[in-house]
Amino acid sequence: MNKHQNYFDVKSIINQFEISGDFCRAESISVGHINDTFLIKTKDDNDPDYVIQRINHNIFKDVDKLMDNIYRVTTHITNKLTTLKETHHNRYLELVKSKNQELYYHDKFGNYWRCYVYCPNKTVDFNVITPAMAFEGGVVLGKFQAFLSDLPGGRLHDIIPDFHNLEKRLSDFNMAIKNNLLKRVKIAKAEIDFFNYRAMEMLKVNEIGKQGLLPVRVTHNDTKFNNILFDENANALCIIDLDTVMNGYVLFDFGDAIRTLANTAAEDETNLSRVKFNFELYDCFSKGYLKETLPILTKTEIEYLAFSAKLMTYIIALRFLTDFLNGDVYFKINYKTHNLNRARNQLELLKQMDKNFGRMSEIIGKYS
């Protein structure tokens, strides 16, 4: 990264976009491990507020392609909501173009910025997700996938190729072990053994994918539950964080949503006795999700939904540990063993799912 990259003046950035109203103040929104996000308040209540994001260019190298995907997806969903006259979830993210009519602004320090109209929402506390919210979240993800099942214009760009490809993730993991750059392999010995022991079982989805048994669809690929926005009445509004929207299996989205929703603890909780699997939330989310997607899903997709929660937990755990071994170059960390602790937390969640897998499958059966 260029040393100037951390100097920016959000007021001058927002003025590069076609906004209505005048800048009042900016608040940093510290969610997510990847981009930097700011809420921009305008002076007049009649003008919308905005969200600007500095895109992490180390991860998203082709910003044109990234923004093209997001533009196509947001436009298509907005058109659907209008034609279907949806009243409940009636608006979607709206990109604001730059004054040069581009989908992003490239500043003189090399930073890439994009701007959305702010969608007013209530900040959700992960500790108080109610069954009704889980159901709503399932509906929103289901609609997202169902709406995009007829996206015109061909395949989206593969923004991060092999993003949820476990074969690739395992090969990165083995490379990190081999390089052992920070001599951390020893500390993570037990976790490394566990990943190896479970690899064959987890590669099952890759295998059936290669056999052509899983349709490649437009998927979100980062459906952690805090990427779903809610209003003050706990109605889900929409799903945000569209950087990784590309081609994938529906299993990735369902699994990642469950991984984050059904964990009774935060992703980096170090007291592992707090990590349990919340069945009620899983049940409600599955019900909402299948209500929307049953008409589009194949038998094989449905058959692997419960398993996908285990798979995504395994994949994210593997990525946290790989990053720990590589010296924390990918995920933002707050302390030295943060990524190791995240990996341990996720492995505990996976064990909780193992114990109750029969019940997880039954719940999918009930709604399909």
Residue of minimal Cβ distance to ligand GN1: 32
Binding status of residue 241 toward Mg ion by CB under 5 A? yes
Task: Select the span of 36-44, 201-209, 238-246, 350-358 touching ligand GN1 (CB under 6 A).
Answer: 238-246
Picked from Mg ion, ligand GN1, none, the partner binding residue 267 (CB below 5 to 8 A depending on kind) is: ligand GN1
Structure tokens at 351: 């064990």
Which among Mg ion, ligand GN1, none contacts residue 316 (Cβ within 5 to 8 A by kind)? ligand GN1
Return the SS3 of 5: helix
Nearest distance from residue 174's CB to ligand GN1, in Å? 20
- Minimum CB distance to Mg ion smaller for 56 or for 352: 56
Q: What distance in Å separates the CA atoms of residue 354 and residue 350, rounded to the nearest whole number?
A: 6
Question: Minimum distance between the CB of residue 159 and ligand GN1, rounded to whole angstroms?
Answer: 9
48's contact among Mg ion, ligand GN1, none, with CB below 5 to 8 A by partner kind, is none
Site for Mg ion in 208-237 (CB under 5 A): 222
User: Which of positions 252-311 make contact with ligand GN1 (CB under 6 A)?
Assistant: 267
Q: Is 253 in the site for Mg ion (CB under 5 A)?
A: no
- How many residues belong to the site for Mg ion (CB under 5 A)? 2
Among 15, 26, 33, 107, binds ligand GN1 (CB under 6 A): 33
Which residues, in sequence order, are bridge partners of residue 37? Answer: 29, 53
The pair of structure tokens assigned to 132 is 């009704």
CB of 50 to Mg ion, least distance (A): 19
| Pairwise CA distance, residues 166 & 46, whole Å | 48
As a whole number of Å, the CA-based R_g of the chain is 20
Interface residue with ligand GN1 among 36, 241, 253, 269 (CB under 6 A) is: 241
The distance of closest approach from Cβ of residue 101 to ligand GN1 in the complex, given in angstroms and rounded to an integer, is 27
Q: CB of 112 within 8 A of CB of 57?
A: yes
Note whether 156 and 242 are within 8 A (CB).
no
Answer for the pair 317, 343: CB distance below 8 angstroms, yes or no: yes
Identify which of residues 287 and 338 has a Cβ nearer to Mg ion in the complex: 338
**Binding to ligand GN1 (CB under 6 A): which residues in 9-28?**
none
- Which stretches within the chain are classed as H helix? 10-14, 63-83, 131-147, 166-179, 189-202, 204-210, 250-261, 279-293, 299-303, 305-325, 338-355, 357-366
CA distances from 288 to 35, 42, 55, 131, 336 (A): 30, 36, 32, 11, 39
- Name the residues that contact ligand GN1, by CB under 6 A: 32-34, 59, 222, 224, 241, 243-244, 267, 316
